[in-house]
Structure 1
Amino acid sequence: MSAVERAYAPVAAPRRPALRSVPLRASRAPRAPFVVLVLLVLGIGLIGLLVLNTALQQGAFELGELQSTTDELRDRQTELADRVAARSAPDALAEQATRMGMVPAEEAPTFLELPGSSSGDDGGAG
């Protein structure tokens, strides 16, 4: 055979091994522990949500009670401030003084000036 014939001669395909099926593995990972783990996580999550919801409801209940108490105390404070203002009025003070037996002064008050004190405003007390 010449070089030209060899160059154009069909090339035999390399021999491939025959394909065969691989048997399935008989052992698979057990599903039971995974299912138990997932159910356990879900159960703990639900219990946690229940506890959290209960705590929030308790806090809301206490907040409502405290707001009610605050409203009552605010009303009481307003009532007492009104009573103090009514008793501090000049006519109420005059009426109470009369009931206690006080009488108006017949002459104007007199201020005494002690010797050694200055008559000007020195910024000090008295």
Structure 2
Amino acid sequence: MTSDRLVLGARYTRDYGKRGKGYVGLAYQYEFGGDARAHWNGYDLPSPSVEGSTVRLETGWNYTPSENSPLALDLGITGSTGKERGVGFRVGVNTRSERTFKPPRSGRLSLCAVRTKNTIEG
């Protein structure tokens, strides 16, 4: 399967004290012409299409145990509707280097646009 995908999104981040940050994000994704192909015993099987629009909403919390800690905990939930539907949960541990880490300012809005190409062969 080969597909092209365009994602446009924004995330708002806000500080809640010295150690916690909350965020909420919204993204629109469009998948261009992603048709899967399958064969079995010499026959072509019906191929589902992943072409279409998906809207994602995410919210989460980043927690740093102390100001000097190199670790941070990330908890989040993401919901999708449209061509792709579902709910996902995220638990992660992030590391950082004190020399390169610059914490985001409170009330920051981040925007992104990404185009990806995926190829899956099997």
TM-score (norm: length of structure 1): 0.15
Say which structure is richer in strand.
2
Who wins on radius of gyration, i.e. which is larger?
A: 1
More helix by share: 1
Higher relative contact order, chain-length normalized (CA < 8 Å, sep 6+): 2
TM-score, normalized by length of structure 2? 0.16
